[in-house]
Chains A and B, each alone.
Chain A
Amino acid sequence: MLQEPKDKHSPNTHLSQAIIRFAGDSGDGIQATGAMFSHNSAALGHDISTLPDYPAEIRAPAGTIAGVSSFQLNFSSRRIHTPGDRPDVLVAMNPAAVKAHISSLRPGGTLIVNDDGFDEQALKLAGYDKDPREDGTLDSYHVHRAPVSTMTVESVKALQLAPQQAALCKNMYTLGLVCWLFDRDTDFIEALVEQRFAQESEVLREANCMALRAGYNFAETTEMFSSQCRVETAEQSPGLYRRLSGNTATALGLVAAAQLAQRQLMYCTYPITPASDILHELAKLRHMGVIAGQTEDEIAAMGAAVGAAYGGSLAVTGTSGPGVALKSEAIGLAVMTELPVVIINVQRGGPSTGLPTKTEQSDLLQAMYGRNGECPVVVLAPDSPADCFTMAMEACRLAMKYMTPVFLLSDGYIANGSEPWQVPRVDQLPQFRTNEPVCSETQSQFLPYSRNPETLARPWVVPGTPGTEHRIGGLEKQDGTGHVSQDPLNHEQMVQLREQKIAGIAEDIPELDVFGSSAGRLLVLGWGGTGGAIRAAVEEAQAKGLDVACAQLRYLNPFPKNLAAVLDAFDQVLIPELNRGQLRQLVRAQYLVDAQGLNKVQGQPFHTSEILEKIENLCQQPSEAVA
């Protein structure tokens, strides 16, 4: 952890890990600052994990706590799984940022404040009666004050920008300070700025670079910080890496799947936070033949996806919980007509409009059961930002092979968070088999509801195919012919066939991996986006000598076929979820296991420490290896 020695002028400190959080007004360029520093860190060879957090309002009133935007980066010489619980360094651009974030700064941590942001009005807006810099509030931190706005304007004076435009560069000045603190030069970030403004404005490029260098020089010459710290680099296997957010990874996974399956990708959607970035990514790819379209509403998006699937395209719709609620009837239609559609739910806090920009895992039961009738679908959940690539491809593979809707449950945390991704070679990606009809010249009558004996999928015969004209729809189908049927026994048989088709997919998905010993005292079972926090907590617990293992479910329906055996091998099961216990209900019902819950619904991801504490409680044994 980052510790500032009391002794001034001490030599550089070497660290294995550091957590920094940038916080300021939503107009302060906080997200861009964080993104650049993250890219720089990754390129220097650290493992990284990021957590952006921003308000639901596009521009909440300036200077208020509601308007504070933040970006946290964890960078390390070891493999890390989360953006970290508490920052070692907090950069606060105004009093509201201090107010909103100071309580999460590690005691003894470093606070960098923009002194120019602390006028009377700003203090008042943040709800401070007294200046926290003066009244002892910040005594337990190393506080470094710099007149960032003034110095920024001064540093770009030569360019004769309008004062407001000059002041916009203050995030770069701050970044310069931070670069010096972490003992890295500004070359890489200058190159990023160059790329960013290459097409736009030479003068803005120059201004941003000047502010950046000025910040760096200020830190160096004024000895603002007592010393520099250097985080060691991580060992990574050679190859090309990319910093990737979950939403970008999802978009890339869809494009890859369409190419591998040789199908047209049709992404039909309606804008909704936090899923819209998938649309934005795909909309850029017209030149690759990707069709990403915005419909009049969520229902139309789902209907269009069903229509596109009927036409033979790889059809995908993306949304968040409220959108899924609207799509439910059309998802049922896709179940009844057995058409392949991928439904991406980037989960956010609910119910209703809920917390649009905050994360939650509370749509699991909606994905499982949120439709009328017996209506099973496949449910998958990526466990990290980069895993969204793999699981988006997997969702497409299963949908097309088994002729079924597939839910992909991402969440706001992994969708917006990012991590390094070792870019795969396309020729090493898994090949796809879609459910092409078996052509049979001898068959006198085409049977749209005949089934592949292995997968139970019906044939994907699309309009335009001569001789196989047929009718499908939402009314119950007669087995084989697909004619409308109200026969009681036929209905029961069809319900069971649809159920068996989904259940049978357990044979086609990987078994659940256990991290740690495969049997023992405690299993921590998670699903989806909590993968990083659970893994980090279990690693720490294991290091303390606790008998604990973890497993992260990425397949929720059907479950991996070894799940029963995995659960059986442990005395106790703990299921941490960002909901009130939805996976726990499923596991208890299906496996009769008395699983314990750790449930959090604050719109925020788990802290590693929260899970660790629960593990320690359950293990009820003194930790042996306190360092």
Chain B
Amino acid sequence: MNQTEPLNIPTYQKEDFASDQTPRWCPGCGDYSILAQLQRVMPAIAEQTQTPRENMVFISGIGCSSRFPYYMNTYGFHSIHGRAPTLALGLQVSRPELMTWVVTGDGDALSIGGNHLMHCLRRNLNVKILLFNNRIYGLTKGQYSPTSELGKRTKSSPLGSVARPLNPLSIALASQATFVARAVDRDPKLLQDVITQAALHKGSAIVEIYQNCNIFNDGAFAHVSERKSRDDNTLKLQHGEPLVFGRQRDKAVVLNEQLQPRVVATSEISESDLLIHDTSRDNSGLTYALSQLQYPEFPVPVGIFRALKAPTYEERVHQQVNEAKRQKPATALQQLLDSGETWRVAE
């Protein structure tokens, strides 16, 4: 808790973050890649944030993704469906020095746990949320999820899903999340970079990770993960860089006069007309519009959408406690018990 005291943390290797448990995801599952990339960047995260391994906690809900904590050699809590953010709230307020991660999926975070996700983000609790989006319920063997596309045929929707999908990042932005990003399981470099930036962020960080479920929803993100097509189908967001994409970097996303996004060839516009990505925009319509871009009409934006500096929830809580203590010296317990509507009976 004492932040002035320098922690002398050891130098970790990737292996230090692997637990003695063997992962039990299906062979070929995107979760393996995410686990590997996370373990790879953990030593650097520990060093840069001066967080020893014992101060790291992974909390999950229920679903395939939520087995994650068992494979990390940190503290871990595999909780109940949708409620991981609530446990993170209690833990992080009680122990602000910890680095708490929430690992969740599209069903866990957006369906049964939608309420908690929204409140976690708007509070700006200092927690890193990794949302594995595979657009399907995998652990229960293949029902449509809140991110499944309209018309999706699954075991529970043989004639096609009749509900429109949710967009996790639009919800995150609307919930005032201070760090919002998207990565893809099959793009290790992007994944490592985004996870590292999320870890360094102070406050609620949500990373949507497109994750392939090769059993129940194989190829859901092929358009952004196939090597030959991904540069043409993704828009890599870089702070301060123009919204330009394509293998030849010959296409750009711009806004028309009705502020609707459209794709143009860079040759058709002057350089000054290019939109420059700015992760520090608060309440920006442009950032929201980016979160709404959908393949195939648009490239899929990946990388960091928003990164804002703001006080965290637990900072505000403890600030109030400290301020209250400063203004009113701590009452001794006896004094507290002795207060109120009292009277004395004499000997």
Contact = CB atoms under 8 A, between A and B. Distances in A.
Interface of A: 35, 39, 42-43, 45, 236-244, 248, 252, 255-256, 259, 264, 266, 268, 285-289, 291, 293, 295-297, 299-313, 315, 329-330, 332-333, 337, 423-426, 462-475, 483-484
Contacts of A302: 86
A424 B337 contact: yes
Nearest to A260: B333
A305 B57 CA distance: 16
A243 B340 contact: yes
Interface in B57-74: 57, 59-60, 62, 69-70, 72-74
B345 A287 contact: no
A304 B54 contact: no
A259 B333 contact: yes
Nearest to B76: A471
A469 B54 contact: yes
Contacts of A248: 340
A255 B90 CA distance: 18
Contacts of B19: 471
Given A308-B93, A310-B87, A330-B83, A287 B327 contact: yes
A306 B85 CA distance: 11
26 contacts: A238-B345, A239-B344, A241-B342, A243-B341, A255-B336, A264-B94, A287-B331, A288-B336, A289-B325, A300-B86, A303-B83, A303-B87, A306-B90, A307-B77, A307-B90, A308-B93, A309-B90, A312-B95, A463-B57, A464-B55, A464-B95, A465-B54, A471-B78, A472-B77, A473-B69, A473-B70
Contact of A293 (B75, B87, B93): B93
A285 B342 contact: no
B116 interface: yes
B346 interface: yes
A295 B345 contact: no
Given A287-B331, A423-B337, A424-B337, A307 B89 contact: yes
B112 to A, nearest CB: 10
Interface stretch (B146-154, B302-310, B316-324): B316-324
Given A240-B338, A242-B340, A473-B78, A311 B90 contact: yes
Nearest to B122: A296
A473 B79 contact: yes
Contact of A304 (B70, B89, B346): B89
B89 A295 contact: yes
B317 A293 contact: yes
Contacts of A259: 333
Among B85, B89, B330, the one with the most A-chain Cβ atoms within 10 Å of its Cβ is B89
A307 B87 contact: yes
Contacts of B75: 463, 469-471
Contact of A291 (B94, B325, B337): B94
B96 to A, nearest CB: 10
Contacts of B340: 242-244, 248
Contacts of B346: 238
B80 A464 contact: no
Contact of B98 (A300, A315, A423, A464): A464
B52 A303 contact: no
A179 to B, nearest CB: 17
Contacts of A483: 21
Contacts of A469: 53-54, 73-76
Contacts of B343: 39, 42-43, 240-241
B328 interface: yes
Given A330-B80, A471-B77, A463 B345 contact: no
Given A239-B344, A242-B339, A288-B330, 10 more contacts: A240-B338, A268-B90, A289-B330, A291-B93, A291-B94, A303-B79, A307-B88, A310-B91, A313-B94, A474-B80
A333 B53 CA distance: 25
A423 B90 contact: no
A237 B328 contact: no
A238 B336 contact: no
Given A237-B345, A291-B321, A311-B95, A474 B79 contact: yes
A447 B331 CA distance: 40
A466 B54 contact: yes
A242 B333 contact: no
B80 A287 contact: no
Contacts of A309: 90
A424 to B, nearest CB: 7
A289 B19 CA distance: 36
A213 to B, nearest CB: 22
A303 B86 contact: yes
Interface in B87-125: 87-95, 97-98, 115-116, 118-119
A475 B97 contact: no
Nearest to B17: A469
A76 B324 CA distance: 41
Given A238-B345, A288-B331, A484 B70 contact: yes
B98 A311 contact: yes
A299 B340 CA distance: 33
A256 B83 contact: no
Contacts of B97: 464
A308 B341 contact: no
Contact of B345 (A236, A329, A462, A472): A236
Contacts of B272: none
